[in-house]
Amino acid sequence: MKVLLTGAAGYIGSHTAQRLLDSGHEVYFIDNLSTSDKRNLSKLNISGDFMDINDVEKVQELLHTHRFDAVMHFAAFISVGESVQNPMKYFYNNTAKSISLIQSAVEAKVPCFVFSSTAAVYGMPKEIPIPEEAKVQPMNPYGLSKSMVEQVLLEASKYSDMETIIFRYFNAAGADTTHGLGELHDPETHLIPLTLQHLLGKRDSISIFGTDYPTPDGTCIRDYIHVLDLADAHILGMEYALREKKSNIFNLGNGQGFSVREVIQTAEKVTGKKANVIEAPRREGDPPILVASSEKAKRELGWVPQRNSLEHIIKSQWDFMQKL
Ligand SMILES: NC(=O)c1ccc[n+]([C@@H]2O[C@H](COP(=O)([O-])OP(=O)(O)OC[C@H]3O[C@@H](n4cnc5c(N)ncnc54)[C@H](O)[C@@H]3O)[C@@H](O)[C@H]2O)c1
């Protein structure tokens, strides 16, 4: 298959591009490097353009020249905290620009569109583990910016020949040490790389935001899914949409929850170093527990996450960061 991949310089996009290449697919990228640099991209043997997904003329030209089998759309801003400070930045980049890309894909008759959505669309879910049928009620602009795109995509697929696969990721984590890829956000906001940066001596401490949540140790619980398992799901999702001619929504998580304290303790065990932990107040917009039910992806796509151990996930990112 020939895939147009947006956000390939970023974390999940770069890992998925490599998995696509490993599986014999062809990849062309778009990235404007707004929140990334070329470090991960330079490890990938792919061609593409440094441009914005909103550059309609160029996007249309690309789509018409290459006749892609699928668009995999990862490009977005991803910080919940920033989205609370500056919602319009998120509605413009994540929502408006995605709609422009979707419009071009529909016009160019791309048969499959795979979209990176998020567990943040569920807000404060009542049922844990969260099934796809749970109510969508995002509690921050980031989640809302993504759920609006979901709605547009589902409507677009009803009224066109384009099938859409929406993946709601839980917390992507880990690294592809074989190819020297890993999580490289700047600024970093994710717990595992932040903890490891601290344990590498690059930060003075690691903060826990909120120790009075209704969870066994008082800290938030999240579901960490290895980035390579996410990447594999994209290939299965694309194949499913093209084979079954069906659109669908799937959660992608590993179904196990780990508290912030457990993550820090596991990082200490993996690295053999002691963390300096600061207990800070809760952050606005953080639900206490987010754990996925991924039964639907397993059942319908035949997806089997292979790298579920938290220790393995943290070790792969640690190995990657030590080599940086
Ligand atoms: N990282 C996670 O844990 C997580 C969880 C849930 C959902 N997601 C979603 O997965 C996707 C990828 O996340 P990530 O962690 O790899 O993010 P990332 O920040 O590492 O990568 C995003 C990439 O998109 C590019 N980009 C942003 N806006 C663009 C635009 N308008 N035009 C062209 N390129 C643009 C950036 O330069 C960057 O390279 C995002 O859509 C995010 O919302 C991520």
Q: Could you tell me how far CA 218 lies from the centroid of its own chain?
A: 26
What CA–CA distance (Å, rounded) separates 274 from 270?
Answer: 11
User: 46 near 17, Cβ under 8 Å?
Assistant: yes
Q: CB 135: neighbour CB atoms within 10 A? A: 12
How far is the centre of ligand 1, averaged over its atoms, from the C-alpha of 6 (Å)?
Answer: 9
Q: What is the CATH number of domain 191-222+255-297+306-323?
A: 3.90.25.10
DSSP state of 176: B
**Structure-block tokens of residue 147:** 């759920």
Q: How many residues does the chain have?
A: 324
Is a pLDDT exceeding 80 seen at residue 75? yes
Q: Would you kindly state where each structural domain of the chain is located, as residue ranges?
A: 2-173+225-252, 191-222+255-297+306-323
Report residues whose beta carbon is within 6 angstroms of any ligand 1 atom.
6-7, 9-13, 30-36, 52-54, 74-76, 78, 93, 97, 116, 118, 169, 171-172, 185
Average pLDDT of the residues in 172-187: 95
Q: Could you read off the pLDDT of 15-69 as tens digits, one per residue?
A: 999 999 999 999 999 999 999 999 999 999 999 999 999 999 999 999 999 999 9
Active site residues: 142
Give residue for tokens 């859409």. Answer: 164
Give residue for tokens 């989205």. Answer: 83
Q: Could you read off the pLDDT of 220-239 as tens digits, one per residue?
A: 999 999 999 999 999 999 99
Q: What is the CATH T-level fold of the domain 2-173+225-252, as seen in this structure?
A: Rossmann fold (3.40.50)
Q: What is the dihedral of CA 55, 248, 221, 224, to 10 degrees?
A: -70
Q: CB 144: neighbour CB atoms within 10 A? A: 22
Closest atom, ligand 1, to C-alpha of 77: 27
**Structure-block tokens of residue 66:** 């290459």
User: 190 near 171, Cβ under 8 Å?
Assistant: yes
pLDDT bin (cut points 50, 70, 90) of residue 153 is very high
Residue nearest atom 37 in ligand 1 by C-alpha distance: 33
pLDDT bin (cut points 50, 70, 90) of residue 285 is confident
Burial bucket for residue 322 (CB in 10 Å: 0-12, 13-18, 19+): exposed
Q: Which pLDDT score is estimated for 141?
A: 95
State which H helix or E strand residue 57 sits in: helix 56-66
3-state secondary structure of 180: coil
Residue nearest atom 23 in ligand 1 by C-alpha distance: 7
Q: Could you read off the pLDDT of 188-218 as tens digits, one per residue?
A: 999 999 999 999 999 999 999 999 999 999 9
**pTM reported for the whole predicted model:** 0.97
3-state secondary structure of 166: strand
Backbone angles phi, psi at 206, to 5 degrees: -125, 135
Largest CA distance in the chain: 56
**Structure-block tokens of residue 32:** 């404007």
DSSP 255-269: S--EEHHHHHHHHHH
